Structure 1
Amino acid sequence: MFSKEIFYFSIVLVGLLVMLTGLCLYLMIKKMMDNKNRTKIEKYKEEYQLALFQLLHEGIEDKRFLNSSPLQTRALVELLAGFSKVLSSPDILKRVQEFAEDHLQPFILSQLKHRRWSIRMNALYWIQDFRMSSMREPLRELRDSGSMSKSEEIQLLKIDVLFNDRDLLPRLTDTLHELTEFEYSLLFQSLGKGQFQPLVQAFDELPDVMKYALIDSIGVKNRMEHIAFLQRLLTNDSTELRIRALKAVVGMEYYLDIPTLSIHLRAESWQERLMAIKACEYIRSPELSPYLQELMSDPSFYVRSQAAQSLLRLPNGKSVLGEMAVHAEDGYARDMAAQWLERGAVS
């Protein structure tokens, strides 16, 4: 009985060894073939580089681009992707698009339908780089499949932005995957003026994560045409929206009048008070001194520190801090004034 068990165990063990050996051989052969193909691709890229450059600059077609093998096509795709990132002339970008749609579309379409996620993602990047508007239908099929990953959906949205798709707004608000504020911000920062305005108009209906990303994008991209929109948000009932609007205004270095600032300097939220103090740095008016002195006794350390820093930048601010360091009734205010006087002396 015991010897029979050993016999069966030996058969299983031998079977496993054969399978592992076969797998190792397969991986080794595949690696060798991949290396061999990569060497060929690099060789083709060297051969085609000058000819493709001439085509993009002068429109001179090379016969070698016709009836290319899969490896030659791959070399052309990689070359074209590199050129598209460094050449920005409208005429050249138009030739990039035409060449991709005339010569590379079947290859890129096959990659777009591949079962491997990384290969599909590369295809989406190429479609964006080459501005292949002829791929709209395959892209629609990928979206309608409902099986796309989050990365694929984000890349599809980037392509929608590039093509100025008429369904961009509903696609942004009704995504298959839940997008983060950061992901929305990246998308919004690539929008043109005509694409941005519908989002501003629909602001009240947007989910909070999109509202926050939209406000931040206005500040990051310095979209001065939406200053009036930000100013309206400064009176919003939502504390978070007011803080975000203040942050965007600060990022744009926009001047807010002192009566408006005074409301936020005395807000209930310490974050709102802090952001309002930062806005004071672009005004530097002596009229702000009483508000900043009052904030030197704020319960929040960050607010006290920012108030002292802003006071130091005002005309006669150093003398005001010197007076507070000695005579302020609040101990926190005295300490903070002394700290910033010392920092000012060092700098």
Structure 2
Amino acid sequence: MLRNELFFLTILTITILGLLMVLLIYLTIRKAIDIKNRKAIEQYIENYQSILFTMLMEGGYSRGMNPKSVLERKATEKLLSMYSKVLEGEDEKKRLSELASMYLAEYYHKQLKSKKWSQRMNTLYHIEDFKLSLLIDDIHKLSQKKRISHEELIHTLRILALFQYENLFEMLTIHYNSLSEFEYRNILVRLEQQQFEQFILHFHKSSPPLQKAILDVISMKKEINYLSFLENIFSTCKGEIKLRALKALTEIGYVKNSDPYLELLYSTKWEERMVAAKLVGSLKEVKGISRLIELLHDQTWWVRSQAGQAICQFPNGPRFCVKYLKHQRMHLPRTWLGNGFIKGYK
């Protein structure tokens, strides 16, 4: 019995050692191949870096540069990625996109069909960076796959928005109408005015997350042509949607009539008082300054802070504030004294 157990352990030990040896040999070979491939990529980059730079700066093409193998395409991809991060001129960026289309479009077309999630995601990032709009149909097909991951879906929708895909409105309002507010915003912010207008026209039929995203994008763009739309939303909606519209108006810094917004300085909701204070400061509406001074003693810190910032936007606002407080025999907030807003006040 003991002899059999020793024999079994010996065989097991030899087997494990054999497997470890095979694994070591595999890893050694894999490491050697990786080093060889990396050197080949670096050599290709060294040979064609100046040629590619000249094409980006001056235009034209080079017959000598014609990446065919996977390694050559990876080297070209690495070169273009490097330049995409430093180029600023529109002409140079356009040439980079054209070169990427010429050298990498077919390669990416195949990579989008890869069974590996990481390869598909990396390809999406490069398509976005290089702005390869000729692959828009491939991106759309990928978004329609049943087994697509959520990360891939959001990325494909972002790219479709970047390329101003004509059916994106239908996709977001019918097929993908359960995205988060953050996801909608990252998609919509890439749209140009013509595409974005569709979401404005159908605002009231949209889901709350999409509505909030639309209003946030308007806040980011700060375009005055959306003024009437925002004022309409402010007057007809309630709750968070109304507050988002108010925030957007604050970013634009203009309203047709300030009276409805001055009333919010007396709102029972501190969020509305805070944003209204910011709007009054942005408008430099003199009719609201006395209330802003009162809000310096609001029970909510955010309101007090915003009221102080709003007053500072008025010409001589802090000095006027001091005179008003003295006349009303009110104390100046300590934060103003500590931050040096007012000097010599007693």
- TM-score interval (norm. to shorter): 0.7 to 0.9
Cα 1:261–1:139 change in 2 (3 A) is: closer
8 Å CA contact retained: 1:321, 1:337: no
Structure-2 residue corresponding to 1:48: 48
SS of 1:148's equivalent in the other structure is: coil
Moved more, 216-225 or 300-309: 300-309
Alignment pair present for 1:340 and 2:344: no
Cα 1:273–1:52 change in 2 (3 A) is: same
Alignment pair present for 1:303 and 2:307: no
Q: Which amino acid aligns with 2:120?
A: R
Q: Which amino acid aligns with 2:321?
A: G
Structure-2 residue corresponding to 1:163: 163
Q: Gapped runs of 5+ residues in structure 1? A: 329-333
Write the distance in 2 (CA, Å) between the matches of 1:24 and 1:174.
Answer: 54
Relative to the length of structure 1, the TM-score reads 0.83
Q: Which amino acid aligns with 1:143?
A: S
Counterpart mapping for 1:213-224 below 5 A:
213-224=213-224
Cα 1:31–1:311 change in 2 (3 A) is: same
Cα 1:140–1:4 change in 2 (3 A) is: farther
8 Å CA contact retained: 2:166, 2:195: no
Relative to the length of structure 2, the TM-score reads 0.83
Write the distance in 1 (CA, Å) between the matches of 2:224 and 2:24.
Answer: 61
Structure-1 residue corresponding to 2:27: 27
Following superposition, the deviation at residue 41 of structure 1 comes to: 0.6
Moved more, 179-188 or 287-296: 287-296
**Matched residue pairs, number?**
339
Cα 1:118–1:69 change in 2 (3 A) is: same
Q: Which amino acid aligns with 2:342?
A: A
Q: Which amino acid aligns with 1:126?
A: H
For 1:30-49, what per-residue CA distance to the aligned partner results, in whole angstroms no more than 9, with x for missing partners? 23322321221111012112
Structure-1 residue corresponding to 2:325: 321
Structure-2 residue corresponding to 1:210: 210
8 Å CA contact retained: 1:311, 1:318: no
Counterpart mapping for 1:170-189 below 5 A:
170-174=170-174, 179-189=179-189
Cα 1:43–1:241 change in 2 (3 A) is: same
Structure-2 residue corresponding to 1:106: 106
Structure-2 residue corresponding to 1:237: 237
Structure-2 residue corresponding to 1:61: 61
Structure-1 residue corresponding to 2:246: 246
Cα 1:84–1:304 change in 2 (3 A) is: closer
Write the distance in 1 (CA, Å) between the matches of 2:303 and 2:91.
Answer: 53
8 Å CA contact retained: 1:265, 1:291: yes
Q: Which amino acid aligns with 1:140?
A: H
Write the distance in 1 (CA, Å) between the matches of 2:180 and 2:311.
Answer: 37
For 1:306-337, what per-residue CA distance to the aligned partner results, in whole angstroms no more than 9, with x for missing partners? 3355456536211223345xx45xxxxx5x63
Q: Which amino acid aligns with 1:192?
A: E
Cα 1:129–1:44 change in 2 (3 A) is: same
Moved more, 273-282 or 139-148: 139-148
Q: Which amino acid aligns with 1:248?
A: A
For 1:132-165, what per-residue CA distance to the aligned partner results, in whole angstroms no more than 9, with x for missing partners? 3432343333222222222222221122123221
Counterpart mapping for 1:89-100 below 5 A:
92-100=92-100
Q: Which amino acid aligns with 1:30?
A: R
Write the distance in 1 (CA, Å) between the matches of 2:176 and 2:22.
Answer: 41
Moved more, 191-200 or 250-259: 250-259
Write the distance in 1 (CA, Å) between the matches of 2:99 and 2:311.
Answer: 60
For 1:232-283, what per-residue CA distance to the aligned partner results, in whole angstroms no more than 9, with x for missing partners? 1221332211211222222233356431222221223210111101112123
8 Å CA contact retained: 1:66, 1:103: yes
Cα 1:136–1:293 change in 2 (3 A) is: closer
8 Å CA contact retained: 2:233, 2:242: yes
Q: Which amino acid aligns with 2:333?
A: A
Counterpart mapping for 1:271-286 below 5 A:
271-286=271-286
Query: Over aligned residue pairs, what C-alpha RMSD do you find?
Result: 3.1
Q: Gapped runs of 5+ residues in structure 2? A: none
Structure-1 residue corresponding to 2:190: 190
For 1:196-224, what per-residue CA distance to the aligned partner results, in whole angstroms no more than 9, with x for missing partners? 11111111122111211211111112222
Write the distance in 1 (CA, Å) between the matches of 2:293 and 2:115.
Answer: 64
8 Å CA contact retained: 1:49, 1:79: yes
Write the distance in 2 (CA, Å) between the matches of 1:342 and 1:67.
Answer: 64
8 Å CA contact retained: 1:322, 1:341: no
Write the distance in 1 (CA, Å) between the matches of 2:206 and 2:15.
Answer: 60
8 Å CA contact retained: 1:265, 1:276: yes
Write the distance in 2 (CA, Å) between the matches of 1:297 and 1:168.
Answer: 48
Write the distance in 1 (CA, Å) between the matches of 2:323 and 2:87.
Answer: 56
SS of 2:118's equivalent in the other structure is: helix
